[in-house]
Amino acid sequence: MTEPDIKKGLAGVVVDYTAVSKVNPETNSLLYRGYPVQELAATQPFEAVAYLLWHGELPTDVQLAQLRATERAYRHLPADVRAAIDLVPIDAHPMDEVRTAVSLIGARDLAGTGSVLDVSGSEEENLARSVRLFAMLPAIVAYGQRRRRGLQPVAPRDDLDYAANFLWMTFDETADDVVVDAFNRSMILYAEHSFNASTFTARVVTSTLSDLYSAVVAAIGALKGPLHGGANEAVLHIFDEIGTAENVGPWLDQALAEKRKIMGFGHRVYKRGDSRVPTMKAALDTLVEHYDRPDVAALYDTLESEFVSRKGIYPNLDYPSGPAYNLIGFDTLTFTPLFVAARVTGWTAHIMEQLASNALIRPLSEYNGPDERHIEGYVPDA
């Protein structure tokens, strides 16, 4: 019998076309709808990139103004969503809060739909659902952090764009431009990355003709894991463990002896460095300067150079974004929810793409369990 050609973890398997983004590990490039992500991060507000991912083109001034008007209209934390978040134990992981909130938003929006045959929605309906989630997630994430700190939610401000308002709702103060810019760049860099685990999860759920909210809830579950989105939180746990740059050598000796994975390093697709890292590292550098924290840069650089020289494994986006979010003032547990707020744009673009030319995603497996056996005493019906 020939051995089946099993692609564990679907590594190297091309499962479909996508026009949303292109990851090219050979040239170390990442294009959203054809545009290099570095150019988008340097020139665009996150709202414009969200529009690009959904529609395939950057918005005109009028289109951007329309999207911003809708986004502003849905920025408030609805009372029932706040109540649902409050039901989540205060010491549960914030990703559980976000998942619960999105689930409730979906149930409320689809109430009265009736049959499962009607839930997948038209492109127009799904676009509206995508914009609403995009608009509501900052309030959900900001409220989560404030709730854990025993603080009341902060009402959004109509005079601020997405990134500045997100920071306002989290910290109850107007952020400096340099901080808003770094945060905006991080949102853009996190927005989309082809068939990563969470996006593929969203596409699998969508392929059954389930609804957009169910697909996003499932994607949030996939993103929570430390091998995926949870790594940005895990990077800060590692930074806290190490403490200062001087401790990196001995800490790394022990971690590698224990065969620990060093979070924020390595990537399934990029093997010679993540295309998004230089842009996020530059944003981190501006924050280090702004907050006058050379100690953070020293720890970052020392761990990177020691780990790369010992293992030849390079940082991924979570490595610079973790300390950047820490400097901005986000609690470590809030980092992965920030990833959700960004990646919901990519997920929903993929959900709409999947629906536009759907095929049920249903791979095969090779059985390696016990041979056929029978219940003792069982007599089949005549």
Among 68, 99, 185, 228, the residue binding ligand ACO under the rule CB under 6 A is: 228
Binds ligand ACO (CB under 6 A): choice among 211, 304, 318, 331: 318
Q: Give the DSSP per-residue string, 21-55.
A: EEEETTTTEEEETTEEHHHHHHH--HHHHHHHHHH
- Find residue 30's DSSP bridge partners: 23
What mask of x and - would describe binding to ligand ACO in positions 262 to 281, judged by CB under 6 A?
A: xxxxxxx-------------
HSE at residue 33, side-chain half, CA atoms within 13 A, is 19
Q: Total residues at the site for ligand ACO (CB under 6 A)? A: 17
Q: Which stretch binds ligand ACO (CB under 6 A): 177-185, 206-214, 222-230, 347-355?
A: 222-230
According to the binding rule CB under 6 A, does residue 227 interact with ligand ACO? yes
CA distance 210 to 208: 5
Cβ at position 230, least distance to ligand ACO in Å: 8
- Our CB check for ligand ACO shows the closer of 28 and 210 to be 28
One of 211, 228, 274, 350 is an active-site residue; which one?
228
Is residue 318 annotated as a catalytic residue, yes or no? Answer: yes
Instruction: Identify the residue among 128, 282, 297, 313 touching ligand ACO (CB under 6 A).
Output: 313
Taking the least distance from each CB to ligand ACO, the nearer of 26 and 371 is: 26
Contacts of residue 225, Cβ cutoff 8 Å, sequence gap at least 6: 197
Q: DSSP secondary structure string, 282-300?
A: HHHHHHHHHHT-HHHHHHH
Question: Smaller CB distance to ligand ACO: residue 211 or 318?
Answer: 318
157: left (phi over 0), alpha (psi -120 to 50) or beta: beta
Query: CB-wise, 84 or 238, nearer to ligand ACO?
Result: 238
> Which one of the listed residues 109, 211, 267, 331 is annotated catalytic?
267
Distance CA 308, CA 179 (A): 29
Among 317, 324, 344, 352, binds ligand ACO (CB under 6 A): 317
The identity of residue 332, as a single letter, is T
Radius of gyration of the chain (CA): 22
CB 123 within 8 A of CB 352: yes
86 is catalytic: no
Interface residue list for ligand ACO (CB under 6 A): 9, 227-229, 231, 261-268, 313, 316-318
